[in-house]
C-alpha cells in the first residue's frame, strides 16, 4: 500500500506484517504493522525504521515522498528490533547528519549494531529539535516498555509519536481509529496492554499524570503498531488510565488444564458456583486457549480460580507455562483460589497456591483437591468454592 499523509507533510512510511502470528509468546492472529513516520520539513526526519525483512516497503514508501538520501535526521524512539532492525541499512542509505536517541537508546544501539561511528545525538526529556517549521520535543518514557523507550511530540500538530505505548497488533490497510470499528480496535489495544505494558502500569500512571499536568495538546497519537488515534484519543487515554490502575470488575476466570477430565468437571462446577452468585465468569481450558488471550481477560478480572491435575508431583506443563507468563506481567488486585484432581500425591494445588502467593493474590480458601474422579459431593464442594470466591470478590465492589 502507498504511504499515507497523516497530517500535512507528515507521512506514515511503515510496513504491514500480515502473516506474523507469534510475538515472543504473544499470539497475534491478525498480524501487525511497524509504523515509521517521515516529516518533510527543512530538515527531513525519519522517526524509527521497521523490522528487518521489510526494507523494500520502508524505502519504497520513503521514495514515494523524498529521495531517501535527502533525509537529514533519524530519530530512534525505541531500539527493539521490530523498529530498529533496519537502522544499519537506513543509516548506510541515508547517511543522516544526526541520529537522535535517549542515553539508554545510544547504549542499546551500540549493543545491537556495534557501530560507534554513527552520528549519535543523545536527548532527554525537555530537549527540543527544530526541523524548520516544526519543532520536536522529546519525552523519555523509560520502561514503557524498554529502558531506551522515548516519545517524540510535535506541538504544532499536536502529534505524539508514542513508540509502543497505545499500540495494537493489528495488520490493516486502514491507518486511523475512525476507519474501523472502535470496540474491535480497543480489544486489540487491551490485549497489547495486558501482554506488554501491564508490568509497567505504575509508570503509565505517572506518565498520564505528567501529560495532564503539562497540558500537552493531543490531536493525534501515533504508536509504532496498529492504527493511529485521532478521533478517540480521550477513549484510549481513559482505557490506559483504567488498565494501569488495574481496576477490576465483578468478573472471574476459571482457568484449568486437565488430564482425564476430572479437573475439567471441577472447573465447570466452580463456574456454576460463581455464576449463581451473580459474577460474570469466563472458563478457559489451556489446551485450547492461548496464554495471551487468557491474559487479556485477566486484565479486568477480579478473581482467578486456577486448576490443574497433578503430574509428576507438580502441575501440568501448560499451567506452569501460564503461571510463569502471568507472573512476569505482574497483575495486581486479584483474588485467587486453586483446585485440581490427583491420583496419589496431589501437589498441583499447593504449587498453584504458592505461585498465587508470590503474585500477592488474596487467597480466601486453601483450595480443593479430588482424588481421581469427582463424585456429586466433590462437585458440590467445587460449587461452594465458587460461592466463597464470589462473596470475597463482591466484598470489594
Ligand atoms: Fe514494538 Fe518494543 O517493540
Count of C-beta atoms within a 10 Å radius of residue 245: 15
pLDDT for position 98:
98
Convert the pLDDT of each residue in 314-337 to its tens digit.
999 999 999 999 999 999 999 999
- Residue having the nearest C-alpha atom to atom 3 of ligand 1: 80
Please enumerate in sequence order all residues whose Cβ is within 8 A of that of 157, keeping only pairs 6 or more positions apart, or say none: 7, 10, 134, 219, 220
C-alpha to C-alpha distances, 184 to 33, 34, 36, 188, 384, nearest whole angstrom: 16, 19, 23, 7, 36
Task: Tell me if 80 CB under 6 Å of ligand 1.
Answer: yes
Average pLDDT, rounded, for the chain:
97
Across the range 212-221, mean pLDDT stands at: 93
Task: Tell me if 41 CB under 6 Å of ligand 1.
Answer: no
pLDDT band at 79 (very low <50, low <70, confident <90, very high): very high
Task: Tell me if 82 CB under 6 Å of ligand 1.
Answer: yes
pLDDT band at 1 (very low <50, low <70, confident <90, very high): confident
Across the range 214-237, mean pLDDT stands at: 96
Task: Tell me if 78 CB under 6 Å of ligand 1.
Answer: yes
pLDDT band at 363 (very low <50, low <70, confident <90, very high): very high
pLDDT for position 179:
98
Half-sphere exposure at residue 379, Cβ-oriented, CA atoms within 13 angstroms: 13
- Residue having the nearest C-alpha atom to atom 2 of ligand 1: 80
Model confidence at 214: pLDDT above 90: no
pLDDT band at 302 (very low <50, low <70, confident <90, very high): very high
Model confidence at 75: pLDDT above 90: yes
Model confidence at 261: pLDDT above 80: yes
- Of all atoms in ligand 1, which is nearest to the CA of residue 34? 1
Residues with a known catalytic role: 24, 78, 80, 82, 145, 164, 192, 225
pLDDT for position 211:
87
pLDDT band at 397 (very low <50, low <70, confident <90, very high): confident
- For the CA atoms of 89, 90, 92, 97, the dihedral, rounded to the nearest 10 degrees, stands at -160
> Which DSSP letter does residue 339 get?
E
pLDDT for position 116:
97
pLDDT for position 297:
98
- Of all atoms in ligand 1, which is nearest to the CA of residue 167? 1
Across the range 118-130, mean pLDDT stands at: 97
Model confidence at 396: pLDDT above 90: no
Across the range 209-237, mean pLDDT stands at: 95
pLDDT for position 279:
98
Q: Are 240 and 202 in contact (CB under 8 A)?
A: no
Amino acid at each position: 500500500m502507498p504511504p499515507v499523509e497523516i497530517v500535512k507533510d507528515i507521512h506514515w512510511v511503515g510496513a504491514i506484517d500480515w502473516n506474523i502470528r507469534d510475538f515472543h509468546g504473544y499470539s497475534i492472529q491478525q498480524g501487525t504493522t511497524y509504523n515509521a513516520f517521515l516529516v518533510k520539513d527543512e530538515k527531513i526526519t525519519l522517526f524509527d525504521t521497521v523490522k528487518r525483512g521489510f526494507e523494500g516497503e520502508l524505502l519504497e514508501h520513503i521514495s514515494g515522498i523524498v529521495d531517501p538520501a535527502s533525509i537529514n535526521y533519524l530519530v530512534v524512539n525505541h531500539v527493539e528490533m521490530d523498529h530498529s532492525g533496519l537502522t544499519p541499512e537506513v543509516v548506510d542509505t541515508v547517511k543522516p547528519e544526526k541520529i537522535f536517541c535517549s542515553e539508554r537508546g545510544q547504549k542499546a544501539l551500540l549493543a545491537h549494531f556495534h557501530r560507534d561511528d554513527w552520528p549519535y545525538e543523545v536527548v532527554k526529556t525537555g530537549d527540543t529539535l527544530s526541523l524548520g517549521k516544526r519543532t520536536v520535543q522529546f519525552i523519555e518514557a523509560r520502561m514503557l516498555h524498554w529502558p531506551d523507550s522515548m516519545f517524540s511530540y510535535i506541538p504544532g500538530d499536536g502529534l505524539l509519536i508514542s513508540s509502543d505505548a497505545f499500540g495494537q497488533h493489528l495488520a490493516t490497510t486502514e491507518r486511523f481509529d475512525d476507519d474501523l470499528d472502535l470496540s474491535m480496535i480497543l480489544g486489540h489495544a487491551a490485549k497489547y496492554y495486558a501482554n506488554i505494558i501491564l508490568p509497567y502500569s505504575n509508570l503509565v500512571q505517572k506518565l498520564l499524570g505528567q501529560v495532564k499536568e503539562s497540558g500537552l495538546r493531543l490531536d493525534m497519537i501515533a504508536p509504532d503498531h496498529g492504527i493511529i488515534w485521532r478521533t478517540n484519543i480521550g477513549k484510549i487515554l481513559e482505557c490506559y488510565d483504567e488498565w494501569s490502575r488495574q481496576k477490576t470488575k465483578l468478573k472471574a476466570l476459571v482457568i484449568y488444564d486437565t488430564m482425564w477430565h476430572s479437573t475439567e468437571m471441577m472447573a465447570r462446577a466452580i463456574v456454576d458456583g460463581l455464576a449463581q452468585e451473580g459474577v460474570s465468569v469466563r472458563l478457559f481450558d489451556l489446551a485450547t486457549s492461548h496464554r495471551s488471550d487468557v491474559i487479556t481477560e485477566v486484565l479486568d478480572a477480579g478473581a482467578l480460580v486456577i486448576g490443574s491435575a497433578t503430574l509428576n508431583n507438580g502441575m501440568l506443563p501448560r499451567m506452569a507455562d501460564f503461571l510463569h507468563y502471568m507472573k512476569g506481567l505482574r497483575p495486581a488486585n486479584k483474588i485467587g483460589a486453586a483446585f485440581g484432581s490427583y491420583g496419589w500425591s496431589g501437589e498441583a494445588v499447593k504449587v498453584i497456591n504458592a505461585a498465587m502467593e508470590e503474585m500477592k493474590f488474596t487467597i480466601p480458601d486453601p483450595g480443593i483437591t479430588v482424588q481421581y474422579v469427582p463424585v456429586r459431593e466433590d462437585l458440590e464442594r467445587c460449587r461452594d468454592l465458587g460461592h466463597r470466591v464470589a462473596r470475597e470478590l463482591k466484598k470489594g465492589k
